[in-house]
A = this chain, B = another copy of it.
Amino acid sequence: MPVGTLATVKTVTPAQLRDTGAQMVLANTYHLHLRPGENIVASGGGIHKFMGWNGPMLTDSGGFQVFSLSEIRKITEEGATFRSPYDGRVIELTPERSIQIQNALGADVIMAFDECPPYPASREEVEAATGRTYRWLERCIKAHGRAEQALFGIVQGGVYPDLRQEAAKALVDLDLSGYAIGGVSVGEPAALIEKIVKVTTPILPFEKPRYLMGVGTYREMTQAIAAGVDLFDCVIPTRWARHGTAMVNGERWNLKNAQFKEDFTPLDESCPCYTCQNFSRAYLCHLVKSREILAYTLLSIHNITELIRFTQRIREAIVDDRFAEEFAKWLAPAPDSSDP
């Protein structure tokens, strides 16, 4: 899922997004609550109509942003209190409030409000957060007022395998529409992410969507897919695009580099995206150096297409029983930390 934080996948129109092959889009409840507010989105006919995206959509609960972005906050059993970065207003987000907001936004999939402990955190801290996440989930289920929206629960448990497994089992007993693995990609090493995913997915039902939140690089996705994950979201393809970086065949290319200045080939000859079909590396280099906005649009289109095609190739390889062999490079541990 490309990320459409404020009801827009940055720099890309819905028509361009559809052409990348993307199916589902994520939007952020925290950001949309602050701007323009869920009531305006609801008055506009819901998030799909408001932003012009006809495909499936998912909203997160706002929890991750409250815990990672908000400067002033108080966390109690009731919920979390934070200060709006726009007008300083104090806002309380509770499980009930998160679900109300997500009901108003109207995405196809909504997420339970969870407490995401930081990394590193002690076993005691993680235990407390995991227990609270479960009690908040029960309140989310009660508060959920629109049966046509699928509510996913989130497995927390930090880097402690037994806490993850315990949390996963408790969630499965609630027979939800889908399950997410949360609280990863918060600073822990890549090897730990893989370990967390590997111990959790076998407990989650095979026939329901399993979603690894906030993950989306080549290696992380490949390893998580091997462990049984179906769904990802990540800002990397669009964020890197806005930094002038193209994702090509598992590599990161900084388009400002002199090597591209007179390179009139497309980013990737085999890529069917609008950017590769119409523009050269030299042109993209020129746009990036000139800080032309079109650079960010064209690179976002390519990067999203690249990651969608990557997962398509994995899907085909799984069906043809050549996944482990063909993706051995990505199934191996990362050689260094700058790995895409």
Q: Kindly state whether residue A218 has any CB partner on chain B within 8 Å.
A: no
Contacts of A261 in B (CB 8 A): 36, 40
Chain A residues numbered 261-286 whose CB sits less than 8 Å from any CB in chain B: 261-262, 264, 274, 278-280, 282-283, 285-286
Contact among B14, B45, B283, B296 with A293 in the assembled complex (CB-CB below 8 Å): B296
Are B283 and A50 neighbours in the complex by a CB distance under 8 Å? yes
Q: Tell whether A52 is near chain B: CB-to-CB under 8 Å.
A: yes
The CA of A138 and the CA of B245, in the complex, are separated in Å by 47
Give every chain B residue within 8 A of A51 (Cβ-Cβ).
283
A68 at the B interface (CB under 8 A): no
Write the A1-36 contact mask toward B (1 if CB under 8 angstroms, else 0).
000001110111111100000000000000000011
Q: Is A205 an interface residue (CB 8 A)?
A: no
User: Using Cβ atoms and an 8 Å threshold, which residues of chain B touch A297?
Assistant: 11, 13, 293, 297
A55–B287 Cα distance when bound, in Å, is 20
- Tell me whether A289 is interfacial, beta carbon within 8 Å: yes
Q: Which residues of B contact A43 (CB under 8 A)?
A: 262, 264, 282
Which residues of B are found within 8 Å of A278, using beta-carbon distances?
14-15, 52
- Within the complex, the shortest CB–CB distance from A104 to chain B, in Å, comes to 14
The reply to whether the CB of A248 lies closer than 8 angstroms to some CB of chain B is: no
Nearest 7 Cβ contacts at the A-B interface:
A36-B286, A52-B278, A8-B294, A11-B293, A44-B264, A6-B290, A8-B292
Task: Report the Cα distance A291→B7, complex, angstroms.
Answer: 13
B282 and A12 within 8 A (CB):
no
Q: Nearest Cβ distance between residue A293 and chain B, in whole angstroms?
A: 5
Q: Which residues 289-323 of A sit at the B interface, judged by CB distance below 8 A?
A: 289-290, 292-294, 296-298
A294–B10 touching, CB < 8 Å:
yes
Q: A40-B262, A264-B45, A289-B36 are in contact. Are A50 and B10 (CB under 8 A)?
A: no
CB pair B44–A280 under 8 Å, yes or no, is yes
Give bound CA distance, A36 to B288, whole Å: 11
Task: Report the minimal beta-carbon distance from A301 to chain B, rounded to whole angstroms.
Answer: 9
Residue from A15, A16, A286 with most neighbouring chain B CB atoms (10 Å):
A286
